[in-house]
Amino acid sequence: MTQFDILLRQGLMDANLEQYGRVLQSADSSEPDFSPRYLRERMRLLAAPQDWEERRTRPAPRRRRIPRGVAVAIAVLLLITAAAAVTVSLWVSYFGGLDQRQQEIIGDMEISGEKTEQPGPEKTAAESLLPPPVEHDGVTITPMRILGAKNKLYLILEIRAPEGTVFRPDETYQLFDGIQVPKERRTEMIGFSGGFTVLGAGTKEPNVMIGVAEWQASVDVGGCSYVVQALYRFTPDGEKETVFGGWDPETGPTDSWEIPIPGDLNGDRVLEPDVEGLAMTDGGKTMTLLSMSVSPLGVWWKYRLDGEDPWPRVRVALRMRDGSEVEAAPGQLTMGDMGTGCTATVDFAKPVDLSQAEAVLWGDAEIPLEQGPEK
C-alpha cells in the first residue's frame, strides 16, 4: 500500500467520523447519503457497530499525524470523488446500466465542472466549459454534466424550485424545453426530437429535482442554446398543474431559462467516412449520400432524395471487430428539403466504443470506418 493510499484511507475515516457517529447512534437510514460505496460501508457498520468502535478506539502508536494541509487536500479530494461517483451513478441509472468501457467513454467525453487541460506543447489549465447555473423568478437550473457529439445532446440538470415546492417521486412531471439555433444558422429546415427523464424528485431536498434532458437534431447543436420555459406536474386525475413558468395566449411562453451549449461538442470523437455519391435505391426512391458523421452516441447523414417518399427509413448499425452488430435505437429523425438536401439521424441506446467498430451498415451498404478515436 502506498503512502497516498494510507493517507486517503485515514482521510476517509477522519472526514466521515462525525457522520458515522450519528448513524451509529440514531440508525437513521436516510442520513447521510453519499456514494453507493459510502452507503455499503454504512450498512456494514450498522450491522456490526462494535467493529467501528474497536477500530476507532484502538491505540495506534505508530500512526503519524497527518499534516493539516494534507488532511484538507484529502477532504477536498473525497468531496470531488463523491460528487463524481454520484454523477456516474446518474448516467448509469439513465442508460439502464453501463459497463466499464462505456463509463470510460462517458468520462472522456462529458463536460463537467472541473477544470481541464488543453493539449499542446505547453499544457495550461483551462476553465470548465460547463455553463453556470441560470436563475429566474426564484427557480435555479444548474447543468451538472453535458454529454454530446455533433447533433446528439444529453444534459444532467438540477432544478431547484422556489421554497415551499415539494417534488414527489410518485408524481409525473413534464419539462417544456427545447434547442434554440442562432439566427444566422437557420438556413434550412431544422428538426428536433427530445425528452426529459426524472431521476430524482424531492430525494435530495423537497424542492430539488434531478433529471436528464436528451435531444437529437438535424443540425450540429454545438453553439446553440438549451432553453427551459416551464415545468408541469400531472395530478393523479390527469390534470396538468404549472410548477413554474408562464404562458401568454397571444405571445406564448413568458419565462425562459437559457443555457448556452459549448461550441465544440467532442468534435474529436466524430468520424466522417467518405460517403459522397454512395446511392441506394429502394422501390421508387433513390437516396444519394452527401456526407456522414459517426460518434459514440449516434450516426448523422445528409443525402439527396429522388422519389415520392420524402421521409424514407433506413436500417443503421455498426459492425464491430468481433463480428457483432450494434443496432441503432428506434426513432430515426428525418428533416430537410429538396434544395439543400435531407438530413437524418439515429442514436445508440448506450455509448459505443468506436475504436472497436469496423463499418457502418447503412441499409444494404457497408461503409468502412477508419481507425477510431484513441482511448
Angle between helices 3-26 and 68-95 (to 10 degrees): 70
Confidence at residue 339, expressed as pLDDT on a 0 to 100 scale? 57
For residues 193 and 333, the answer to whether their CB atoms sit within 8 Å is yes
| Number of CB atoms found within 10 A of residue 256's CB | 15
Confidence at residue 153, expressed as pLDDT on a 0 to 100 scale? 95
pLDDT band at 337 (very low <50, low <70, confident <90, very high): low
- Out of 19-33, 143-157, 271-285, 321-335, pick the least confident: 19-33
268: which residues sit within 8 A by CB, 6+ positions away?
A: 373
> If you average pLDDT over residues 218-244, what whole number do you get?
92
Is pLDDT at 198 greater than 90 in this prediction? yes
Confidence at residue 349, expressed as pLDDT on a 0 to 100 scale? 93
Confidence at residue 30, expressed as pLDDT on a 0 to 100 scale? 41
Residue-wise pLDDT tens digits, 306-329: 876 666 788 999 999 999 999 998
For residues 129 and 259, the answer to whether their CB atoms sit within 8 Å is no
DSSP states of 148-162 as a string?
Answer: EETTEEEEEEEEEPP
Is pLDDT at 124 greater than 80 in this prediction? no
pLDDT band at 114 (very low <50, low <70, confident <90, very high): low
| Cα torsion angle, 179, 185, 187, 188, sign | negative
For residues 240 and 232, the answer to whether their CB atoms sit within 8 Å is yes
Nearest to 151 by CA among 224, 218, 227: 218
- Read off the pTM: 0.72
Determine the Cα–Cα distance for residues 347 and 152; give it in Å rounded to an integer: 8
> If you average pLDDT over residues 136-153, what whole number do you get?
95
Confidence at residue 105, expressed as pLDDT on a 0 to 100 scale? 95
| Cα torsion angle, 149, 152, 158, 159, sign | positive
Is pLDDT at 341 greater than 60 in this prediction? yes
Determine the Cα–Cα distance for residues 231 and 243; give it in Å rounded to an integer: 5
- Out of 12-16, 201-205, 215-219, pick the least confident: 12-16
